[in-house]
């Protein structure tokens, strides 16, 4: 069985100065990719800055015979995102792989959540994903190749009143699905997926030291890297998917719809109440390919929309 290599490919990885991002950078580099290691060098709340973290990973890669450069710009601004991409282009002339790994946890419970903390969380995880992707998107379409891996979180399934972090991560899922459909509509070999990693990292400490130590023992970050590398490879098997990865497991999460209750346009409140078991019945369900296929009011809507865009 041949080894899966990344020779000739250029990867940009945000938040790669430690934890998961570091593991992605090390693995891709040892398989032949040239890697830009971006990290602001802040703590898990986004406070502080140091170029030392990114540079340390670069030195590890170079010591192992790989090729890498460090970057300390912030994904929370357009100028920062553009500078990250420009540095990779200046060094190597192309970008093939983008892993939007940068994220922070600043906002707490809803009652204590300030506008400033909420907006900062959104500006890094969701806004940063958008900004760096925007900076590489057209180039990937033009070269007819791109692999983008975005990072969400299992927190989207609910974590009490802490809504800021899962809110940002849910936004990343929506962006991923949209971009995957856009690339497919354009007929380009650009694949965009999103992961929900289960692994120890800087952000684990926001949930308390006991949780952080449990993550460190049971879910070391290197376990996530192989599946992420597969999603970055020329042979990436999917686009628009949500993968949960951690501790030696890889499984699919998905947005699906069931058959539900098929009533009439004249239904009353009581009609819906009396058929609620059908609304919630999961014996028949499907995973739509796009927003045009999650409903069956017009089965040909997706094809009509694509034809309209031609």
Burial class of residue 45, CB neighbours in 10 A (0-12, 13-18, 19+): middle
Please state, in angstroms and rounded to a whole number, the distance separating the CA atoms of residues 286 and 244.
Answer: 19
**Nearest by Cα to 144 from 98, 189, 191, 193:** 189
| 49 token code pair | 């800055």
Residues labelled catalytic: 165
CB-CB neighbours of 230 under 10 Å: 18
3-state percent breakdown (helix, strand, coil) of the chain, nearest 5: 45, 15, 40
Integer Cα distance of 146 and 197 in angstroms: 21
Six-digit token pair at 113?
């959540």
Q: For residue 153, which of 106, 111, 113, 101 has the smallest C-alpha distance?
A: 101
**Rounded-to-integer distance, Cα 146 and Cα 190, Å:** 4
If 0-12 CB within 10 Å is exposed, 13-18 middle and 19+ buried, where does residue 261 land? Answer: middle
Quick one: how many helices (H) and strands (E) in the chain? 11, 10
């Amino acid at each position: 069985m041949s080894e899966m290599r990344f020779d000739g490919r250029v990867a940009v990885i945000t938040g790669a100065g430690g934890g998961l991002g570091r593991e992605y950078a090390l693995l891709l580099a040892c398989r032949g990719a040239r890697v830009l290691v971006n990290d602001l060098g802040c703590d898990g709340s986004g406070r502080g800055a140091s170029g030392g973290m990114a540079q340390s990973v670069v030195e590890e890669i170079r010591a192992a015979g790989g090729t890498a450069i460090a970057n300390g710009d912030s994904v929370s601004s357009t100028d920062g995102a553009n500078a990250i991409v420009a540095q990779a282009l200046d060094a190597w002339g192309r970008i093939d792989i983008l892993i939007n790994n940068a994220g922070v946890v600043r906002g707490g419970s809803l009652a204590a959540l300030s506008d400033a903390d909420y907006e900062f969380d959104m500006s890094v995880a969701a806004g940063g994903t958008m900004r760096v992707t925007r900076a590489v998107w057209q180039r990937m379409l033009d070269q007819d190749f791109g692999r983008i891996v975005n990072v969400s979180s299992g927190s989207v399934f609910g974590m009490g009143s802490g809504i800021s972090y899962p809110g940002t991560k849910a936004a990343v899922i929506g962006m991923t699905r949209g971009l995957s459909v856009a690339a497919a509509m354009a007929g380009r070999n650009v694949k965009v997926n999103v992961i929900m990693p289960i692994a120890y990292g800087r952000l684990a400490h926001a949930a308390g030291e006991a949780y952080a130590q449990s993550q460190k023992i049971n879910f070391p970050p290197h376990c996530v890297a192989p599946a992420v590398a597969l999603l970055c490879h020329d042979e990436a098997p999917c686009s628009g998917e949500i993968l949960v990865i951690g501790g030696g497991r890889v499984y699919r999460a998905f947005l699906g719809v069931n058959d539900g209750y098929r009533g009439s346009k004249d239904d009353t409140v009581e009609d819906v109440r009396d058929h609620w078991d059908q609304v919630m019945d999961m014996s028949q369900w499907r995973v739509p390919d796009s927003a045009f296929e999650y409903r069956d009011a017009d089965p040909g809507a997706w094809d009509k929309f694509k034809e309209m865009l031609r």
